[in-house]
Amino acid sequence: MGVVAESTPPLVHIEDVVKRFPGVVALGGVHLDLYAGEVHALIGENGAGKSSLIKVLSGYYTPDSGVVEIAGKPMHHSVASARSSGVATIHQERQLIPDLTVAENVVLPHWTPSGVWVRPGELQRRAAAALATLVSGVNLSAPARTLSPAVGQMVEIARGLAQNAQILIFDEPTTALSLAERERLFETIERLRASGLAILYVSHNLEEVHRLADRITVMRNGRTVESAPATEFTTQRMVQLMVGRDVRALPAVNEQLGETVLSARGLSRGRRVRNVSFDVRAGEIFALVGLEGSGRTEVARTIFGIDRLDSGEVWVHGRKVDLKSAASGIEAGIGLVPEERKLDGIFPILSVRENISISLLSWISRLGVLSIRKDRALARKSFTALDIRAGSTETEIGNLSGGNQQKVILARWMNRECAVLILDEPTKGIDVGAKAEIYVLIKRAAEEGAAIVLISSDLDECLPVANRFGVMRAGELAAVLERTEISKERIISIATGDHERTVA
């Protein structure tokens, strides 16, 4: 950890910043001081205002009132001006232009340092220089789309350095990274800190915050709640400040298990799914864990029916499922909450009500004609059962927070009382408060007799709730472990292949 001399003035001074939008106050009085040579973590629930603050600092938003000073001078609120003042943002999602080369992505938009003509050699040299300190072995002439998310991230950091950034903002940088890549990123950040950059690190992951941060600012409801050296925070305290109340512990494991509901036998699909077999009983939560790319989502999609199996069978309640499409999987009583809400889950323009009933149209209609009364009743029931927070059932679902959107998708399947419910990273991108609520709902579904398959990359979350754990590696089910046999280390070692033992 670095030590910052607090007698030097902060590189970025934010005081009392307010930003309003029609109907909502995004920032209601934010204070934050960012010093050169420190990593300053910014934490808070979804909707706390972190991304709005980032947008103010990067010149995208103009605050309605308050002070924003960079190097002692008031900031001009434009993107170009922020950039020339030395602010660079590394976003959660990659901002590379896929068909331009790596070198071009590093130097953009400054194709030439001056003048009109682009000299490729000079461009490559500038890009190589910027990239040299960060990552090696990258083909500068390859199109950016060939890069892995981790390397792409390095390219964006290089872009910032090439523009002489003094202030680097990282927005949830580790969501798409593997453990090893995460480590490399942390090392890079530590080096950047040592070279005098001011780093604002926004993350949901409190472990990372512990590891990296010199100081921490907690935001809640658009305001700064607390800003202090990292040593003054415990995880408990951070969560308390973020949520504003005591967060309930995750629910305990369900002990009452029934008969076998789901039987997967010999599932195979190319190289991604290789001869996977497992059973899940009613009321049981079967966690499917493993590294990214180990095939968990692929297994889920084949059981659901949306991807075709090369071979293998799926049985629900003793009946073989004819897996032609998602529709046939749903008919058989299988539900899938997909990993990518925006891509595969919600209908952004439609209302919450319509998003809930979309899987149940035949239940709320007769001869093809919808009963709006039944539709509304269903929505009301779902709102109360899952505590969905939205202005009304008619609100456009795009306006809801990630957590509430997830509840809507969950509602789809819980209304159908699925025999089998598969959840793929259900708490991804959801703030701490809502995560607990999701797990309560999952447990409720289990108690009501569903067989749950829970795909999760967050071992801390699923360890306490799951009955059994299937560890996948490279498309195969490497091991199935009971609660009594598990530990994080054991799972990780099986997932990475260090350890070849399988359990009887």
Partner 1 sequence: MTQTTDGALAVNEAAVTTRRRFDPARLLQDQGLIVVVLIFGLVLSLLSPTFLTPTNLMNLLLQASTLGVMALGMTFVIIGAGIDLSVGGIPAIVSVLAVGLVVRGELPVWFALVVAIGVGIVVGLANGFAITKLGIAPLIATLGTLSITIGLAFAYSGGTSIVPVPDFYNLLRRANMFGIPINIIILAVLAVVTHFVLTRTTFGRSLYAVGGNRQAAEMAGIRTNRVILFTYVISAVAASIAGILFTARLASGSPQTGIGIELTVIAAVVIGGTSLFGGRGNVLGTVLGAVLITMVTNAINLLGVPTAWDRVLLGVVIVIAALLDVFRLRIHERWMSRKAS
Residues that bind partner 1 (CB under 8 A): 20-24, 248, 251, 304, 306, 325-327, 329-331, 336, 338, 343-351, 353-354, 357-359, 361-362, 365, 368-370, 372, 376, 379-381, 383-384, 387, 391-395, 412, 437, 440-441, 443-444
> For partner 1, which is the closer residue by CB, 178 or 328?
328
Q: Considering beta carbons, is residue 94 or 407 the nearer one to partner 1? A: 407
Q: Which is nearer to partner 1, 55 or 443 (CB)?
A: 443
Residues 6+ apart with CB under 8 A from 82: 57, 58, 59, 75, 76
CB of 81 to partner 1, least distance (A): 25
| Residues whose CB is less than 8 angstroms from the CB of residue 50 and which lie 6 or more positions away in sequence, other chains included | 42, 43, 44, 171, 202, 219
Residues 6+ apart with CB under 8 A from 464: 250, 252, 253
User: Which lies closer to partner 1 via its Cβ, residue 381 or residue 488?
Assistant: 381
**How far apart are alpha carbons 188 and 129 in whole angstroms?**
16
In whole angstroms, the minimum distance from the beta carbon of 484 to partner 1 comes to: 25
Angle between helical axes of 372-386 and 402-416 (0-180°, round to 10) = 120
Q: What angle do CA 61, 63, 69 make, to 5 degrees?
A: 100
Minimum CB–partner distance for residue 426 and partner 1 (Å)? 14
The rounded distance, in Å, linking the Cα atoms of 355 and 348 is: 9
> Which residue, 232 or 331, has its beta carbon nearer to partner 1?
331
Q: Give the nearer residue to partner 1 in terms of CB position, either 12 or 306.
A: 306
User: From the CB of 20, what's the least distance to partner 1, in Å?
Assistant: 8
β-strand 369-370 against 365-366: which pairing, if any? antiparallel
Among residues 88, 163, 85, 169, the alpha carbon closest in space to that of 126 is found at: 163
Smallest gap from Cβ 159 to partner 1, in A, equals: 31
Beta partners for residue 481, in sequence order: 469
* Strands of 402-493, DSSP E: 420-424, 451-455, 468-473, 476-482
Report, in Å, the least distance between residue 362 CB and partner 1: 7
Of the two residues 193 and 412, which places its CB atom closer to partner 1 in the complex?
412
Residue with tokens 């001078």: 73
User: Is the CB of 435 or the CB of 443 nearer to partner 1?
Assistant: 443
Nearer to partner 1, 213 or 436 (CB): 436
- Cα separation, 173 vs 149, in Å, equals 10
Distances (CA, A) of 86 to 109, 165, 197, 198: 15, 4, 10, 10
Smaller CB distance to partner 1: residue 177 or 364? Answer: 364
User: Nearest distance from residue 23's CB to partner 1, in Å?
Assistant: 4
Euclidean distance between CA atoms 370 and 395, whole angstroms: 20
Min dist CB 88 to partner 1, Å, is: 30
DSSP per residue, 210-233: HHH-SEEEEEETTEEEEEEEGGG-
Smallest gap from Cβ 389 to partner 1, in A, equals: 9
Query: Which of 189, 239 has the CB closer to partner 1?
Result: 239
Least separation in angstroms between CB 378 and partner 1 = 11
| Alpha carbons 482 and 485: distance in angstroms, whole number | 5
- Based on DSSP, count helices (H) and strands (E) in the chain, helices before strands: 16, 22
For residues 87 and 165, the answer to whether their CB atoms sit within 8 Å is yes
In the complex, minimum distance from the CB of residue 407 to partner 1, in angstroms, rounded to a whole number: 11
Q: Helix, strand, or coil here: 387? A: coil
Helix axes of 432-447 and 402-416: crossing angle, nearest 10 degrees: 10
Alpha-carbon distance 176 to 179, whole Å? 10
